[in-house]
Copies of this chain bind each other. A is one copy, B any other.
């Protein structure tokens, strides 16, 4: 039995097999591959693309989906082992994971970090606890990484650029009024490095570096692929020569848990917005973003409405790659 918690647990070849099968499913949308298979979709955080693409994708393959929002329409859950449960949670992950495993064939989980304690958040405890106690495959619908987005991202890049090997990939930090999750940024450097691209990370200052854990994984991927990994704070240098620009906003890990202090630093960097002028410096790059995106904050209308913007295509590919992934996990295809 396999889980899909981080793409680092998977070989590039196995991920490519999922992408190749997604292309098939894109043409032949309605197949009975998940007939009589049921999936629990647990949302600890809101969602639009993820909810719709999973719910419909499962149904299109003949399966059953059930959506839960623990803490709202379902009971809040305790993840700490051996604790005296005197606080808010009404039941323990041990029971939740086991009971759901008996009801369903797969459990998918969206659980953002809490932005209080960095070390705790980066343990990715919610999804890892599900994996520990469940007896069915676990799929990550975004925690501290977002591997389903990675699949959709790479499929979209391949559809537009063909072989990605040796392409120059830029992940740029962008401004957002709130200190967001690093998940998609972590995922971006993991998957770009795994698929053989030269990866550049642009952010305002070392305070905005991603977590060492993911930087190390990305560097290791680049070493294995004999490609380059670099971090820069120079906007012009970063965009220059890029084939792909991927944008994401995130809160500085330096001030993790101190939203007020963090915001002072963040508010100085509104000029990191992706605009047409910056895009002109690239090697005719395509632009993407995982969505949702605040227009004229993270990227301008001009960029979002340009032909080189493939964000909608990437979002649309979510459904296809997830259908392929679930088929792989539940049917070995």
Interface residues of A (CB under 8 A from B): 29-30, 36, 38, 40, 43, 46-49, 51-53, 55-56, 59-60, 64, 66, 68-70, 72-75, 78, 82-86, 89-92, 94-96, 98-100, 102-104, 177, 291-297, 301, 304-305, 311-312, 315-316, 319
Whether A103 lies near B52 (C-beta < 8 A) is: yes
Complexed CA–CA distance, A315 and B91 (Å): 13
Whether B78 lies near A66 (C-beta < 8 A) is: no
Whether B75 lies near A64 (C-beta < 8 A) is: no
Whether B73 lies near A69 (C-beta < 8 A) is: yes
| Shortest CB distance A217–B (Å) | 28
Whether A64 lies near B68 (C-beta < 8 A) is: no
From B51, B70, B316, contact of A73 by CB (8 A) = B51
- Which chain B residues lie closer than 8 Å to A59 at the CB level? 38, 64
| Shortest CB distance A175–B (Å) | 10
Whether B51 lies near A311 (C-beta < 8 A) is: no
| Shortest CB distance A177–B (Å) | 6
Most buried by B among A70, A78, A98, A104: A98
Given A40-B52, A92-B295: A72 touches B99 (CB 8 Å cut-off): no
Whether B295 lies near A85 (C-beta < 8 A) is: yes
- Which chain B residues lie closer than 8 Å to A56 at the CB level? 38, 64, 66, 103-104
Given A60-B36, A294-B85, A297-B84: A68 touches B51 (CB 8 Å cut-off): yes
| Shortest CB distance A62–B (Å) | 11
From B47, B91, B102, contact of A293 by CB (8 A) = B91
Beyond contacts A48-B75, A99-B312, A102-B312: 6 other A-B pairs, Cβ-Cβ < 8 A, are A29-B36, A43-B73, A48-B68, A55-B64, A78-B294, A103-B316
Whether A74 lies near B103 (C-beta < 8 A) is: no
Given A84-B297, A103-B316: A48 touches B70 (CB 8 Å cut-off): yes
Contacts A/B (CB < 8 Å), 15 sampled? A29-B36, A30-B36, A36-B60, A46-B72, A47-B73, A48-B68, A48-B96, A52-B66, A52-B68, A60-B64, A83-B295, A83-B296, A92-B293, A92-B294, A95-B311
